[in-house]
Structure 1
Amino acid sequence: MNFYCDIKVLPDPEASEPVLISNLISKLHRVLVQLKEHNIGISFPQVQKTLGNTLRLHGTNASLSTLLETQWLKGLRDYCVVGAVSVVPDNCKYRTVKRKQSKSASNKRKRSIAKGWLSAEEATLKIGDDQQTMLHLPFVQLNSLSTRQTMKLFIEHGKLRDEETEGQFNRYGLSSVATVPWF
């Protein structure tokens, strides 16, 4: 991961930053599936309570150049500025950027029933809705092309590390193992 490219969303009166970032991630996911790409990671250098206005792509010069040559940003070019593929600065830190899922009460009930730990009646009585884990992380909101359902993809930036950890990224550019440069 020695190269990166920043994509910054521009202020728009019709769409908020989170909506534009969600659209970018949705389109990125589709092109990563098409390209069968596992070597491109993402981060959000402006992350705070929201993901901010910048999506940073990480990878090799070849993988990022190939990605940017596709027309994956079609329809969003008026809403963002795409930077050049650049070399990662020396002496940077590293961190994981991964998906974090909440443990919903309904999923706990389904799992308990499927594993045979509880009957359906017992699961309903013992696992109340108050056992749901709430996440206070920034997220993107995506629409599934197959089910047409809306889902929230919560994104957690891990602790800073001195050393890079290699690995593969999922088709959203996220990994619980592989790190991306942080600067």
Structure 2
Amino acid sequence: MESYQEIRVLPDPEFGTELLMAALFAKLHRALGQHAAGKIGVSFPHYAKKPGNVIRLHSTTAMLNVLSQTSWLKGLNDHVDITEIRDVPAGAKHCCFSRVQVKSSAERLRRRSVKKGWLSEEEAPVHIPESKSQTTQLPFIQVKSLSTGESFRLFIRRGVLQPDPVEGAFGAYGLSAVATVPWF
């Protein structure tokens, strides 16, 4: 991960930052799957209670050039500012940005279990009590599944800072529970 490129969502009076970030992330998801599967990682330099308005792409200069030569940002060009490809600063730390899947409400789990035929309507409340509900305060991006068309929250966790990089593949969202990206 010697190189990076930043994409900043610009303020817009008609569209909120979260909506534009969701659109940007959806386009990035498609582009990574088509042009750079597993080879580009993402980070969020303003990560806090929200992911922020900047996505940083990390990879080799060659791979970032391959992605930038496609028209993956078509339709969002007026809403984002994209930097040139730059070298990662010397001495940068490293961390993982990973997806966290929350098993949300017990009611939703019951409905799914009944629909899939795993449990009957009578068994579901017994086997899936309210205590099975999970919540999280992690930052998220609202995304829409390309396969099912359903919207969901993609929760993102930033891992602990590490002095050395860890190699590995990135998922279709540019996230990994193992591979690190530079953090600076």
**What is the TM-score normalised by the length of structure 1?**
0.90
Any stretches of 5+ residues in structure 2 without a counterpart? none
Cα-to-partner distance string for 1:108-167 (whole Å, 9 max, x where unaligned): 8867xx8x8x77633422422342110111111112233221111111111111111000
Secondary structure of the residue that 2:156 maps to in structure 1? strand
**Superposition CA RMSD, Å:** 2.3
Checking the alignment, whether the CA contact within 8 Å between 1:109 and 1:127 is kept in structure 2 is no
Name 2:89's counterpart in structure 1: 89
Determine the C-alpha separation between the residues in 2 that align with 1:154 and 1:96. 14
State whether structure 2 residue 164 is matched by structure 1 residue 163: yes
| Counterpart AA for 1:121 | E
Any stretches of 5+ residues in structure 1 without a counterpart? none
State whether structure 2 residue 125 is matched by structure 1 residue 124: yes
Structure 1 segments of 4 or more deviating over 3 A? 106-111, 118-123
Task: Provide the identity percentage.
Answer: 45
Determine the C-alpha separation between the residues in 2 that align with 1:107 and 1:40. 33
Deviation of 1:36 (Å)? 5.0
1:145-164 mapped onto 2 (5 Å cutoff)? 145-164=146-165
Name 1:71's counterpart in structure 2: 71
Secondary structure of the residue that 1:62 maps to in structure 2? helix
Name 1:98's counterpart in structure 2: 98
